[in-house]
């Protein structure tokens, strides 16, 4: 049909142009998303380096430690110009605060010192800030980007025909891509059971009542799902991926 060919043609054009236009946004959200997923081990805003060493010279105690003494200790680190203040949280422990968030901690009795250098990550930090939505101006562009992703997805679904399109390999891949996040939704949001029951309510009060009577408690749902995930999820997931790869290979 001419109209179907025309739709696929325009879908390819729209898919191509929007993909090029939003390539930068995709990279920003993807890279910052990876970093934020591992924020327990990676600080997206700052790089922190820790250095432990020992000061050979004898140091004055709390009463005798002056600004000049602290600046002398900071000279080997190249931080004498970044000094802000120092104090003693304990009798033998001195902590020195530096500009930018760096700090030096010294045991004035033993000479043991710990220097933490804090430097800002300019590129990744800026990406993470955009990911968090820094202001109203970015909200508008992010909303446009979200709509663009929807259009890219829909155009990608219909722009191919035959075995490589939605009725063939593309449909299999789309189903798998929907099933995987759906499983996580079922795992993390057990209240989906009650949502299903509410949907059934519109189909018939008796059936909905029966479904609610059979539905387990939220704690029981979480327990069953966790048990399934611990024992079967990764096996099922790996088998599905293996079958998908085999299917793609032989198409």
Least confident range from 1-5, 132-136, 153-157, 235-239: namely 235-239
The model's pLDDT over 51-65, given as tens digits with 9 standing for 90+, comes to 999 988 888 888 888
Q: Helix (H) and strand (E) counts for the chain? A: 10, 5
Rounded to whole angstroms, how far apart are CA atoms 32 and 55? 40
Rounded to whole angstroms, how far apart are CA atoms 64 and 60? 5
The better pLDDT of the pair 38, 241 is held by 38
pLDDT for the residue 80:
87
pLDDT for the residue 135:
79
pLDDT band of residue 208 (cuts 50, 70, 90) is: very low
Rounded to whole angstroms, how far apart are CA atoms 127 and 28? 6
Q: Which residues contact 231 (CB under 8 A, 6 or more apart)?
A: none
| pLDDT tops 60 at residue 240 | no
The token pair that represents 36 in the structure block: 């934020």
- Residue 46 pairs in a beta bridge with 120
* DSSP per-residue letters across 57-98: S----TTT--HHHHHHHHGGGT-GGGEEEEE-SSSSEEEEEE
Tell me the backbone φ, ψ of residue 117, rounded to 5 degrees: -100, 125
pLDDT band of residue 250 (cuts 50, 70, 90) is: very low
pLDDT for the residue 239:
52
Q: Which residues contact 57 (CB under 8 A, 6 or more apart)?
A: 111
Three-class SS of residue 117?
A: strand
| pLDDT tops 80 at residue 167 | no
Tell me the backbone φ, ψ of residue 154, rounded to 5 degrees: -65, -40
Rounded to whole angstroms, how far apart are CA atoms 99 and 84? 7
| pLDDT tops 80 at residue 98 | yes
* DSSP assignment letter at 48: E
The model's pLDDT over 69-95, given as tens digits with 9 standing for 90+, comes to 889 889 889 888 899 999 899 889 999
**Residues counted in the chain:** 251
């Amino acid at each position: 049909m001419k109209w179907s060919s025309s739709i696929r043609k325009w879908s390819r054009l729209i898919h191509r142009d929007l993909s090029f236009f939003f390539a930068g946004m995709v990279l920003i959200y993807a890279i910052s998303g990876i970093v934020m997923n591992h924020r327990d081990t990676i600080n997206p805003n700052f790089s922190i380096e820790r250095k432990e060493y020992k000061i050979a010279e004898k140091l004055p105690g709390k009463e005798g430690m002056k600004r000049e003494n602290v600046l002398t200790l900071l000279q080997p680190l190249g931080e004498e110009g970044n000094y802000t203040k120092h104090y003693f949280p304990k009798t033998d422990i001195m902590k020195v605060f530096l500009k930018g968030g760096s700090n030096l901690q010294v045991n004035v009795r033993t000479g043991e010192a710990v220097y933490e250098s804090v430097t800002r990550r300019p590129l990744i930090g800026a990406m993470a800030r955009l990911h968090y939505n820094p202001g109203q101006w970015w909200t508008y562009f992010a909303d446009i980007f979200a709509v663009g992703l929807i259009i890219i997805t829909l155009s990608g679904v219909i722009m191919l025909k035959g075995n490589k399109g939605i009725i063939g390999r593309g449909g299999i891949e789309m189903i798998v891509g929907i099933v995987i996040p759906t499983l996580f939704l079922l795992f993390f949001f057990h209240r989906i059971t009650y949502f299903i029951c509410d949907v059934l309510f519109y189909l018939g009060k008796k059936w909905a009542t029966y479904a609610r009577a059979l539905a387990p408690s939220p704690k029981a749902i979480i327990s069953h799902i966790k048990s399934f995930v611990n024992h079967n999820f990764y096996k099922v997931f790996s088998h599905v991926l293996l079958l998908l790869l085999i299917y793609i290979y032989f198409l």
